Amino acid sequence: MSVSLSEFNGHIAQGTTFRGSSNGRIVKSFFQRSLGPDEVAVQVTHSGVCGTDLHYMLQDMVLGHEAVGIVSAVGSACTLFKPGDRVGWGYEHYSCGFCTPCLTNEECHCLNAGFYGASDFDQGSFSNIGVWKQKWLFHIPEGIKSEDAAPLMCGGASCFSPLIEHCRPIDRVGIVGMGGLGHLAIQFAAKMGCEVVVFSGSESKRTDALALGASAFFNIQGVSDFSTLGITKPIDRLIVAAASLMDVSQFYPVLARKAIIIPLTATKETLAVPYYDTLFTGVKIIPSMLATRFTQTKMLEFADRHHIRPIIEKFPMTEAGIGAAIEKLKNGQIRYRAVLSWDF
């Protein structure tokens, strides 16, 4: 399929975008904007489809937040990028740099942040154009193909961050839910030297989990008492990357004392925990959201160096292609990340 390149009239960037709508249909739209001094225009070539996109399908906003593309133009004050560079962006588009979270290395909790789904509704990675501040764009290492880099921009960064922050090579790390995030978390954790254990509701993923670096796979479909799973060595860290909030109390019988549960699931459900057991065992629950720019950059370097790549299923960047990817993702049929591409 041919790509209609974004065109520039002076500093005007324009291109095609794809939006959600109240009836769930994907709607093609047109984007046009002038380029600010610290902004970069990107011709998007690929986009991952993240589980979080499912929450925005009914909104009248441009979808997608796992972009990779080529810089087409830069504003007059840009110093970090030049036309022709291969770059990506993820869920966060802006952080102020002066609030307390920003000043304490917590820019994902910036009080003035620009996030997907909360601002900049006129652009996203389901498109062939993006105009973003240079600060939240990332160079893609030469060794990573664009179609493989796209899922790293949100999914990869978001599971790498808690692994770096909370997991040591001596830890037995449980990964719950083997989807886009989960299958990358297995690879990152294994390459970090952790012992990786997967909890999944899909028996059909067992072989892939072990091939990606897990040492054990537990099918939890229909299991209510996890002490019957046959786990003899307790789990030190539990990364929950399931699409829906799990009943984390089920995991308590297989957790080590002072274990850390790290929920990544994006949901408005209530997280209930057994308080006495939490007190008695010293289990901590520390949710994790996205990654700082430093961690995102290091994640890309780590993935490049250790040949960590998503397993992807490609779809064309069209209304029909996006619709098909979303439908499969909703039905739990993607192995393991859908990637939209203009050169399908």
Interface residues with ligand NAP (CB under 6 A)? 50-52, 154-155, 158, 177-182, 200-202, 205, 241-244, 264-266, 288-290, 329, 332
Contacts of 225 (CB under 8 A, 6+ apart): 250, 253
**CA-closest candidate to residue 248, choices 240, 259, 256:** 240
Q: How far is the CB of 243 from Zn ion (least distance, A)?
A: 12
Q: How far is the CB of 171 from ligand NAP (least distance, A)?
A: 20
242 binds, among Zn ion, ligand NAP, none (CB under 5 to 8 A by kind): ligand NAP
102 binds, among Zn ion, ligand NAP, none (CB under 5 to 8 A by kind): Zn ion
Distance (Å, whole) CA 135 – CA 254: 42
E strand or H helix at 319, and its extent?
Answer: helix 319-330
The CB density around residue 66, as the number of other CB atoms within 10 Å, is 34
Side-chain-side CA neighbours of 29 within 13 Å: the count stands at: 20
290 binds, among ligand NAP, Zn ion, none (CB under 5 to 8 A by kind): ligand NAP
* Letter string b/e over residues 150-168, b meaning 16 or more CB atoms within 10 A of that residue's CB: bbbbbbbbbbbbbbeebbe
If the CB atoms of residues 154 and 300 are measured against ligand NAP, the closer one turns out to be: 154
If the CB atoms of residues 98 and 280 are measured against Zn ion, the closer one turns out to be: 98
Structure tokens at 243: 């699409």
**Residue with the CB atom nearest ligand NAP in the bound state:** 179
If the CB atoms of residues 50 and 312 are measured against ligand NAP, the closer one turns out to be: 50
What one-letter code names the amino acid at 108? C
Q: How far is the CB of 52 from Zn ion (least distance, A)?
A: 4
174 binds, among Zn ion, ligand NAP, none (CB under 5 to 8 A by kind): none
Site residues, Zn ion (CB under 5 A): 50, 52, 95-96, 99, 102, 110, 154
Q: How far is the CB of 318 from Zn ion (least distance, A)?
A: 21
If the CB atoms of residues 47 and 288 are measured against ligand NAP, the closer one turns out to be: 288
If the CB atoms of residues 50 and 62 are measured against Zn ion, the closer one turns out to be: 50
Distance (Å, whole) CA 292 – CA 46: 22
**CA-closest candidate to residue 206, choices 218, 190, 196, 189:** 218
DSSP symbol at 266:
-
Asked if omega into 336 is within 30° of 0 (cis), the reply is yes
If the CB atoms of residues 17 and 200 are measured against ligand NAP, the closer one turns out to be: 200
Q: How far is the CB of 260 from Zn ion (least distance, A)?
A: 22
96 binds, among Zn ion, ligand NAP, none (CB under 5 to 8 A by kind): Zn ion
